[in-house]
A and B are shown apart, each in its own frame.
Chain A
Amino acid sequence: MTGDGRAAPARLTGFAFVAPFLALYVFLLIVPLVMGIAISFHRADLFGTRRWAGLDNYARLATDPVFHQSLGNTFALTLLIVPVLTAITLALALALNRPARSAAVFRGIFFSSSVLSVTIVTLIWRFVLTPDGGLAAKLLTAFGYAPLPFLSDPALTIPAIAITTIWWCLGLPMMLFLAGLQQIPHDLYEAAALDGARGWTVFRRVTLPSLRGTLVTVVMLQTAGQLQLFGQAQLLTGGGPGGASRPVVLFIYEVAFGRWELGYATAAAQVLFVLVLALTGLQYWLVARREPVR
């Protein structure tokens, strides 16, 4: 077998090609991940002091009302953002899926918010939402209503963060939906027209089923992303008032870099990691169970 003689060097060459990526991947992702898991079983600070603590950190999380509150906030934000964002971006994609020049301009405009950093986005929405002289306040006053304290009322901070996030995140899902729409063969719509299908029926029976794969991708990406929401909350409300808008990642950040309890913070991070994995896995399973995603 001459093939065996060549196989070993060929395999080495293959490894040589993937080695740079593999090295970066291992040192920047796998090692920190394993270290994080290891640290979560210790009482540790930022200066490297480690003391074995077993499951103490996890036991503490189970009874920590501040952590529980942040979990609730994260769920609320995700449940608020993902469905609305998905619906809005799908509607935008449907409206802008045409060759007209104006559609290209609007695609650019709606995508533009995505290139801004979270700092700029938050700054813009502070100007809009602040009760003293903000755009929202002025609009409400103009119609004879009192300004709403978006950034200080515990009932309004989470919607405020959600609105900011939705505005910031429009671009990518919209582009994914546009790409998905352009994959649908045009003759399907012609066949539907000859089958007497109109408007809503065409959308429900032709467009939406053809977008299934894209829809699953968007919802999974957004769920994974919004469960890790951080910057907007920290900059817009600082998690307040009284922790009413503090998501899990902000909790982790405060524990690690405010209180220097690295072990406790990494334990919370592991919980979030498992949560993201479980929820996105569940979504995929729910869809893939019915039929394979193409």
Chain B
Amino acid sequence: MSSPGASLVLDQVRKAYGATQVLDGVSLTMAANEFVAFLGPSGSGKSTLLRIIAGLESLDGGEVRLGERRIDGLAPGDRDVAMVFQHYALYPHMSVRDNMAFGLRNAKVPAGEIATRIAGAAKSLEIEALLDRKPGQLSGGQRQRVAIGRAIIKNPALFLLDEPLSNLDAALRNRTRVELAQLRQRTDAAFIMVTHDQAEAMTLADRIVVMNDRRIQQVGTPMEIYARPANSFVARFVGTPAMTLAAGTATTDADGFAQVRLGDGSVVATRVPFAHLGNDTNVQLGLRPEQVACVAPGDTGVQAEAILVERLGDRSFVYARLADGQDIIAHDGGGCGVRIGDRIGMRIDGAAAAVFGSDGTAHHADAAP
């Protein structure tokens, strides 16, 4: 069933419910054996896109191709995709074995072949002891494994995972995350996972598709998304805690790089070429916490007041307020002695900072050659 090298292509996919546009010209090309995460808040269109690929929703325009075939007109069962549903959607009256066999029986796969495949999938997922039970007799984690087994056994060209970890508790979630990563190593299929959890997306995916407001905001590797967000939405949505966006005015320095004067008068030099900004000088300076160090107050640098300290053990985040009321998040070591209300100084490293124009578009320093 699976054709190695098959990859998914979305070409200008559009979808509307009545007058409400939910997807507005979405295009994406996936490499073979790639793991892509659709990341976005509720209502961003990511689930709709997944369901369009699965064939559970029709599209109003554009094309979906998988490998050499155009699949957007095919029935869901003919697309060579398998889906793991958010609430598992196991058939409650069938045993685990029958749940897994159902799709293959419909595809007229010989009984011996079905039995072999079930045995193999059950062994790798460690659900051999559960094969004769009904879904109602299984725990949430076991149901999840059966749901994954039901997808694996079809040996599809593309796995579709709809929020696969959202119904599991924290310990099980980490374990299943590892298992999904291992599953991915064992097959030459491609994966698409819908999630609103950036940690899942960052750890599992080769590339992340950040969606918001009916459109793809950015496509990139996890590190690209994190280090070079395409716009202020991606900058705020990815990263914990979120990137600080501090309003300021951009001017050029002697080398042609933008320097940003913040509301309290302090100036941060960046490596973003000033020419990239055009004449747009009302900007926001984007700073990850690790670019802002917490130092003793006084002599040089930016002065602020600590309003919240998050201690994570190995490191701490200090939420600080500048004189003009702008909040900036700084990082410090695990033994951070800052208390709420303390005066602190901050050393801002502008070399990796991003500058966001008034329309939210990000400008970054030129990538190192």
Contact = CB atoms under 8 A, between A and B. Distances in A.
A53 interface: no
Contacts of A38: none
22 contacts: A187-B87, A187-B89, A188-B91, A188-B92, A190-B56, A191-B91, A192-B91, A193-B76, A193-B77, A194-B54, A194-B81, A194-B82, A195-B77, A195-B102, A196-B106, A196-B107, A198-B75, A198-B106, A205-B94, A205-B102, A209-B93, A212-B93
B89 A201 contact: no
Interface residues of B, number: 24
B103 interface: yes
A194 B77 contact: yes
Nearest to B87: A187
B43 to A, nearest CB: 19
A193 B56 contact: yes
A205 B94 CA distance: 9
Interface of B: 54-56, 75-78, 81-83, 85-87, 89-94, 102-103, 106-107, 150
A185 B89 contact: yes
A187 B88 CA distance: 8
A264 B56 CA distance: 65
Contacts of A188: 89, 91-92
Interface string A203-218: 0011001101000000
A79 B91 CA distance: 32
Contact of B103 (A196, A198, A210): A196
A195 B89 contact: no
Main secondary structure of the interface of A (DSSP, over half): helix
Contacts of A206: 91
Interface residues of A, number: 18
B275 to A, nearest CB: 51
Given A187-B85, A187-B87, A193 B92 contact: no
B78 A196 contact: yes
Given A190-B76, A193-B55, A195-B103, 8 more contacts: A185-B87, A190-B54, A190-B56, A194-B82, A195-B106, A196-B78, A196-B107, A210-B93
Contacts of B93: 209-210, 212
Contacts of A192: 91, 102
Contacts of A195: 77, 102-103, 106
Contacts of A212: 93
Nearest to A194: B76
A201 B106 contact: yes
A242 B90 CA distance: 57
B54 A210 contact: no
Contacts of B55: 193-194
Nearest to A189: B89
A194 B82 CA distance: 7
Residue picked from A193, A195, A201, A205, most chain B C-beta under 10 Å: A195
Contacts of B103: 194-197
B351 to A, nearest CB: 49
A191 B89 contact: yes
A193 B76 CA distance: 6
B71 to A, nearest CB: 13
A194 B162 CA distance: 14
Nearest to A195: B103
Contacts of A205: 91, 94, 102
A197 B78 CA distance: 10
8 tightest Cβ-Cβ pairs between the two chains A and B? A196-B77, A195-B103, A209-B93, A187-B89, A191-B89, A196-B106, A193-B76, A194-B76
Contacts of A209: 91, 93-94
A191 B92 contact: no
A4 B87 CA distance: 46
Interface string A115-146: 00000000000000000000000000000000
A201 B90 CA distance: 16
